[in-house]
Amino acid sequence: MWTKRKIAKIILGGISIGLLANQFFNVSRLKIDNLTNRFLQYKGTNQEPNKVVVKDISLELPTTDIYLEADPIKRDSVKGAFQHAWSAYERDAFGFDEYHPISRTGSNLSRSKGIGYTIIDSLDTIQLMGLTEEYRRAREWIKSELTFEVDDKFNTFETTIRVLGGLLSSYYLSSNPFNQNIALHEPDALFLDLAADLGERLLSSFSTNSGLPLSYVNLKERLGIPDKDNGGFISTAEAASLQIEFKWLAELLEDPVYWTKSERVLQIIKDSPKMDGLTPIFIDPRVNQFYFSQIRLGSRADSYYEYLLKQYLQTGKSEHVYKEMYDEACKGIKRHLVKISQGPKKLIHTIELAPSRRDNRPEYRPYNKQDHLVCFLPGLLMLGVHQGKDELDQKKMTIQEHENWWVGTELLKTCYDTYNSTESGLSPEIIHFHPIGDPLSLKEDWFIKRSENSKVDLLDGRYILRPETVESIFIAFRLTGDAKYREWGWQIFQSIEKHAKIQTGGYASIKDVDQLPVVYEDKMETFLLSETFKYLYLLFEDSTIAPLDKVVFNTEAHLFPIFEPSFKSNLI
């Protein structure tokens, strides 16, 4: 175990930070004039950076609450694409957790049997689309075949957001809140009973001295299992992205144990030193402090920030601590992670902070990459400003709100550009940025990292049917009514149809977004059905369906109603 010691200041884009390392850190306040109002824009390799004063930029905002009519032709085209994917899965792999559309086979996450990953993850999309027969057959499988008595380990986070979240969302939608003409018009107890069964099993992951949930759980044995691959450390996002599901389950069952167990995680995070609200991606459960690891907005971090805001919204803005933590994190994101490319488009983007050591002292250094996963952030920033208000008035905005809205809209342009600038019209998994001073940084705003033999990196150039950009496009359209967002979403959908669609049924991941004709990877991720097609469908649906002032979406796009807690909240 490290001993506590203060380390030297480090340079990050001209910003010095102080770090204390004992498997955690503490950061001194940065002393830069008006930093929260400014972003750095580099125009040349040998020049001092210019300042972009965000508070002086005029924002395009809706002035009143808006009703958005459906575009039935495009909406039904997305529904048809969903049916193309679902019917292939139902034909070839019904009941299996995952689907492989090229080999036309299914596979399970466990060695024995599945737990309904694809069916449950897709069911609320089926409900929203009003697909009566598909719903009937899926519900019958759930009723007759689904069991959680499976003697194998399952990821706590993934099982919570996909399966528990899917069951709870289908329970909510079974009361037909948006008049989709598919339900019983009263909640279907089948889904709540299964959610209660699964929730009780997942609670076993919290049976630790630290109160932090273990990464895996044996559902049959009701036993939490640590992640040996990561030395027993716990992912920040995975531990801090169970709360929306567990809190709604607690409310439905009138059992506060789900609330208190999941909220304990946020208490630990709140009490731990952070870098202006930013957290490393791992927590050490032995000391309940952050482990010196990457700081980023992609994997193992993303949904932590997402759930801060959404917990606040989910309980009717009653838990102010989460809004405060979210606001602090937004300041940290803008201060440390937001940059502007030097290329011709001058794109707002994010970077990561990578841990390293110099003279045996830990420090963070910038790593100029952005994952597709980060594209959830534009919509989140805009949602955090809007919060269901009847109107947005720039004159009444705080500086923080003004900045967040501008960064959100600009970052969404970047996310869309990663689609619009490739040969296939689909976005790579990871993009990189040239360091300041590299002549290439003036010629191209971003690039896909490739190996020496010109073969695309196995991870970086893939498109695996991810939803984050269309999620933010959906939110941006709902909040602004700006038609360009529907145009962007339609362009992305057409590229999916052209390049990812398998004619015999289903959709497949693509190995290289800049290679035509495309080369497929034989897997159809469940989030295509639960998220990507759902957000695209809702983008073209009218705004009375899943209105953002009435529901919150979990990180797998499952819908939860905004509610007033019936028992004491604000536990931290």
**Annotated active-site positions, please?**
158, 302, 429, 468
User: Which helix (H) or strand (E) segment is 15 a member of?
Assistant: strand 15-20
- Distance separating alpha carbons of residues 524 and 87, to the nearest angstrom: 13
- Distance separating alpha carbons of residues 29 and 36, to the nearest angstrom: 12
- Distance separating alpha carbons of residues 458 and 511, to the nearest angstrom: 7
DSSP conformation letters of 344-381: TT--EEE-EEEEEEETTEEEEEEE-EEEGGGGGHHHHH
- Distance separating alpha carbons of residues 263 and 271, to the nearest angstrom: 13
Tokens describing residue 36: 């929260």
Tokens describing residue 122: 């897709």
Largest CA distance in the chain: 68
- Distance separating alpha carbons of residues 173 and 166, to the nearest angstrom: 10
Name which of 446, 427, 415, 421 is nearest 500 in CA terms: 427
Residue ranges of E strands in 110-248: 153-155, 216-218, 223-225, 234-235
Q: Who's near 449: CB < 8 A, 6+ residues apart?
A: 369, 430, 432, 457, 460
What are the residue ranges of helices labelled H in 182-319?
189-202, 236-239, 243-253, 257-271, 302-314
SS3 235: strand
Helices 533-540 and 117-129: crossing angle in degrees, nearest 10, is 10
Contact call for residues 389 and 401 (beta carbons, < 8 A): no
3-state class percentages of the chain: helix first, strand second, coil last, to nearest 5: 40, 15, 40
Q: Who's near 130: CB < 8 A, 6+ residues apart?
A: 180, 181, 182
- Distance separating alpha carbons of residues 6 and 26, to the nearest angstrom: 9
Q: Who's near 404: CB < 8 A, 6+ residues apart?
A: 330, 381, 382, 384, 385
Q: Who's near 145: CB < 8 A, 6+ residues apart?
A: 95, 116
555 is in an annotated binding site: yes
Alpha-carbon torsion 419, 422, 425, 430, what sign?
A: negative
**Which residues are known binding-site members for Ca(2+)?**
555
**Which residues are known binding-site members?**
555
